[in-house]
């Protein structure tokens, strides 16, 4: 009997131990199921340019639809994609598809066509044809992911995208600028169930704007895995309602979703950490969440002696969100934010309590070589170039930007006017607006929302009703930031401006509209949402209609202003708060004042590669404390010896003296924000400009007549890159003479060869009338410069890029990837 009892006890102990081990294993399994992952899904896509006539066969008990013959369904039967080829239907062939990594813009890969019907107006799309394309990707999901919620996030597809997974229609998204998200959980195949195929149709035949918009999946794609209980999409909202030198109050709102079948009792922990990773504050809340429900949990934390965010000191903090059940983390989420105060008044913008006028540029999203599929590194590069000019503000014209652009502005320091695409209160319009607001409202760089740009309905009664709905939605989702619109008419009609926190003026200098309105409405808060529109072609000093070039010595377009003159208005009328010059960079499409052969605009302060034009120095002189003196044109005018030549310039000195071969041509008093000019006799040699402050020379610029092209000189923005398949080196090429002087008229063809773990992803030269392909291993220089973009592979090593040109000395750049 005693032995039986002992045996029974031992048996119970064994059973108990097994149960504990099983529970522990289940606990570990649940923890593995629950943790969030956000996987970059850019690599390994196939692309087909052209439409596909899709043949859908649905049979009882079998999958039907749009997968392909390589994919075995559970029943073992194949399914196919059919495609249209001269009205014949054929099965899927891999040879019809090319391998691509995202982001991808197929439009920039096309050939230019002299067809004014492309786009919303003549030349709008830069004479590059649009169309329809398909993307597909095969991928596996492990058996261990069963029970998770799995979704896919497309940051941006231009445009009208339709998504299928394993033959099942998942959804459609019209906008080319807002993100789209689809739940894949139920349709995925797990483990031995087979491969998955996602298919995306992109129909870019319609347009949303009147500029180059590209074609394709041109922003990042993410595969997101969470447990059934998780932080919602864009599920945190962080504000700092009270800020002082000693403390910042941090309000945290977190939306949690329970997509499971059981009640969840959870603990929400929000940790505030600084830029060094130091834990500053922890807030904990408990909550019961019923099945298929969501809740918003509010918490209040604090930061002692906060480091404030500004463009000069872009200090950042993070909220680390942990959702726990029974002490186990089932979801985690990260939110970057900054501590700052900003107020737009009728007496100026105040950032962190100090007057801070906005020195801004408006910008489209494309770049040389890559179109709208801009690598993250190039977004960083563009922001750095703008900051070097003295810029502190960026307007995302005329659409929501890519998330990585805002992350660069947060990290590098740039205030952003975040712009919605369309004036619309339709269901789709509201979805797009809400996506913009929820996605971007935690960014400290975003200081104001723009709900539309130059819409025909602005200022009439219908537009006013639409705007009222949009303003209400915006204030309800984010009450911390003011709302504006970028208007070019109708400021005082139908109560339109009365709905806005700040009235935006595009080209309000015409008839001095904003000055008249200030006198009539002295309490109105104003902003110059768009100014300047000065047109010029880098390095050109004569108008040339045949080539499509515009002189830097000219006066621009009728509705615009000379570079720097727009800033003079901000100084004269501080109630205007600041401005966004049109534009920081040239962009494809909308060539003005000429159309063909032009394929890009001339509005940029820099060209499409980021090479400065002469007007750049007007803004640098106005916006920085650095002594600036710049005169132009170049000094290579063979055949014009003894003829009169205009020399113009910009400076922030008191006066500038011009010397030709050491002989003074006289001094000019500098009127701030204005261009000065001499007319001199051209003689080859040295052109020197000296800037004086209080009678003392503090700046100079020397331009010399160069010899013939003799060498190719490379300069990379970096020497070390990440071997992640994404990082990019921007390599600028200059054509110089034997003495190392730039040849400002050089147009030599430069050829590139590359060795090592990298590839050329694009080229450019800033020529608005160049019809050369951007995707090539060669490029002509334009007025002395061209550019090549090199992207890394995922292998560490050494990349060698050689640039050579016939009869010139070549040069090699060495890049280390690690």
Q: Are 776 and 723 in contact (CB under 8 A)?
A: no
Give the C-alpha distances (Å, rounded to integers) separating 436 from 216, 421, 502: 20, 10, 19
CA distance 696 to 675: 21
The single residue of 208, 530, 540, 590 carrying the catalytic annotation is 530
b/e sequence 71-88, b meaning 16+ C-beta within 10 Å: bebeeeeebbbbbeeeee
Specify whether 325 is catalytic. no
Q: In what order do the strands lie in the sheet with 279-289?
A: 279-289, 264-273, 317-325, 328-337
Tell me whether residue 238 is exposed, middle or buried, using C-beta atoms within 10 angstroms of its C-beta: 0 to 12, 13 to 18, 19 or more.
Answer: buried
Nearest-angstrom CA–CA distance, 128 and 174: 21
- Residue corresponding to tokens 């006799």: 681
CA 217, CA 173: separation in Å to the nearest integer? 12
Q: How many other C-beta atoms can be found within 10 angstroms of the C-beta atom of residue 711?
A: 17
Q: Determine the 3-state secondary structure of 469 from DSSP.
A: helix
Distance of alpha carbon 42 from alpha carbon 223, whole angstroms: 10
Calpha distance 62→222 (Å, rounded):
30
Q: Tell me the C-alpha distance between 30 and 776, whole Å.
A: 50
The DSSP output letter for 612 is B
- Annotated active-site residue in 109, 208, 452, 454: 454
Using alpha carbons only, how large is the chain's radius of gyration in Å?
30
Neighbours of 384 (CB within 10 A): 14
Q: Which helix (H) or strand (E) holds 268?
A: strand 264-273
DSSP assignment of 7-75: HHHHHHHHHHHHHHHHHHHHHHHHHHHHS-EEEE--SSEEEEES---------TTS--SS--TT-B-TT
Is 454 a known active-site residue?
yes
Q: Is 76 in contact with 67 (CB distance < 8 Å)?
A: no
Residue with tokens 């962080």, as numbered in its chain: 238
> Rounded to an integer, what distance in angstroms lies between the CA atom of residue 294 and that of residue 291?
9
Helix, strand, coil share of the chain (percent; to 5): 15, 40, 45
Q: What 3-state class would DSSP assign to 769? A: coil
Residue 355 CA to residue 352 CA, distance in Å, equals: 9
Joined together, the tokens standing for residue 466 give 């639409």
Catalytic residue list: 454, 530
């Amino acid at each position: 009997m005693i032995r039986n009892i002992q045996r029974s006890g031992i048996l119970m102990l064994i059973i108990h131990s097994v149960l504990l081990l099983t529970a522990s294993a289940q606990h570990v399994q649940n923890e593995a199921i629950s943790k969030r992952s956000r996987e970059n899904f850019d690599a390994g896509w196939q692309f087909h340019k052209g439409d596909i006539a899709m043949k859908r066969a649905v049979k009882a008990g079998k999958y039907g639809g749009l997968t392909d013959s390589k994919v075995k369904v559970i029943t073992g039967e194949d399914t196919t994609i059919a495609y249209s080829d001269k009205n014949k239907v054929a099965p899927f062939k891999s040879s019809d598809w090319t391998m691509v990594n995202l982001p991808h813009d197929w439009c920039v890969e096309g050939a230019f066509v002299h067809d004014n019907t492309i786009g919303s107006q003549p030349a709008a799309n830069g004479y590059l044809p649009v169309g329809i394309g398909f993307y597909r990707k095969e991928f596996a999901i492990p058996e261990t992911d069963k029970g998770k919620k799995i979704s896919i996030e497309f940051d941006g597809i231009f445009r009208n995208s339709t998504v299928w997974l394993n033959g099942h229609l998942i959804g459609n998204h019209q906008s080319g600028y807002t993100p789209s998200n689809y739940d894949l959980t139920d349709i995925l195949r797990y483990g031995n169930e087979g491969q998955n195929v996602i298919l995306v149709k992109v129909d870019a035949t319609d347009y949303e704007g009147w500029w180059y918009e590209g074609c394709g999946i041109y922003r990042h794609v993410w595969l997101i895995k969470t447990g059934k209980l998780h932080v919602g999409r864009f599920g945190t909202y962080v504000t700092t309602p009270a800020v002082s030198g000693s403390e910042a109050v941090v309000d945290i709102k977190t939306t949690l979703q329970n997509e499971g079948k059981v009640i969840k009792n959870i603990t929400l922990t929000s940790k505030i950490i600084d830029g060094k990773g130091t834990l500053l504050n922890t807030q904990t809340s408990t909550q019961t969440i019923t099945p298929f429900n969501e809740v918003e949990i509010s918490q209040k934390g604090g930061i002692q002696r906060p480091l404030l965010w500004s463009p000069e000191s872009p200090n950042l903090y993070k909220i680390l969100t942990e959702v726990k059940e029974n002490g186990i983390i089932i979801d985690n989420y990260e939110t970057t934010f900054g501590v700052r105060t900003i107020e737009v008044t009728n007496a100026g913008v105040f950032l962190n309590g100090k007057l801070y006028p906005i020195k801004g540029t408006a910008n489209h999203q494309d770049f040389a070589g890559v179109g709208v599929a801009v690598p993250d590194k190039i977004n960083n590069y563009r922001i750095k170039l703008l900051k070097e000019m003295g810029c502190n503000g960026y307007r995302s014209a005329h659409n929501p930007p890519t998330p990585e652009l805002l992350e660069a502005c947060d990290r590098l320091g740039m205030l952003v006017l975040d712009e919605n695409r369309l004036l619309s209160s339709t269901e789709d319009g509201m979805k797009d607006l809400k996506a913009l607001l929820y996605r971007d409202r935690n960014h400290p760089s975003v200081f104001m929302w723009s709900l539309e740009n130059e819409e025909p309905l602005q200022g009439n009664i219908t537009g006013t009703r639409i705007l009222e709905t949009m303003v209400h939605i915006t204030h309800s989702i984010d009450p911390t930031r003011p709302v504006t619109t970028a208007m070019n008419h109708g400021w005082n009609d139908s109560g339109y401006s009365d709905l806005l926190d700040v009235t935006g003026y595009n080209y309000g200098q015409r008839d001095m509209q904003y000055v008249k309105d200030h006198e009539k409405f002295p309490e109105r808060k104003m902003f110059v949402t768009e100014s300047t529109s000065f047109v010029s072609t880098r390095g050109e000093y004569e108008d040339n209609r045949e080539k499509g070039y515009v002189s830097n010595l000219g006066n621009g377009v009728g509705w615009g202003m000379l570079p720097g003159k727009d800033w003079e208005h901000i100084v004269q009328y501080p109630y205007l708060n600041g401005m966004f010059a049109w534009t920081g960079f040239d962009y494809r499409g909308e060539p003005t004042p000429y159309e063909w052969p032009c394929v890009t605009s001339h509005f940029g302060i820099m060209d499409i590669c980021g090479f400065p034009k002469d007007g750049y120095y007007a803004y640098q002189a106005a916006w920085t404390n650095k002594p600036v003196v710049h005169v132009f044109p170049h000094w290579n005018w063979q055949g014009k010896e003894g003829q009169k030549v205009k020399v113009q310039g910009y400076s922030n000195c008191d006066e500038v003296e011009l010397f030709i071969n050491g002989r003074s041509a006289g001094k000019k008093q500098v009127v701030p924000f204005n261009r000065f000019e001499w007319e001199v006799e051209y003689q080859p040699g040295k052109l020197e400009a000296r800037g004086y402050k209080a009678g003392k020379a503090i700046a100079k610029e020397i331009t010399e007549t160069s010899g013939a092209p003799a060498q190719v000189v490379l300069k990379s923005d970096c020497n070390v890159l990440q071997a992640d398949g994404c990082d990019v080196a921007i390599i600028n090429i200059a054509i110089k003479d034997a003495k190392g002087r730039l040849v400002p008229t050089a147009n030599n063809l430069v050829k590139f060869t590359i060795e090592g773990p990298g590839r050329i992803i694009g080229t450019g030269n800033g020529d608005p009338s160049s019809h050369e392909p951007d995707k090539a291993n060669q490029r002509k220089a334009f007025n002395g410069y061209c550019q090549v973009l090199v992207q890394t592979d995922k292998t560490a090593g050494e990349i060698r890029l050689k640039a050579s040109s016939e009869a010139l000395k070549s040069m090699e750049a060495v890049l280390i990837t690690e």
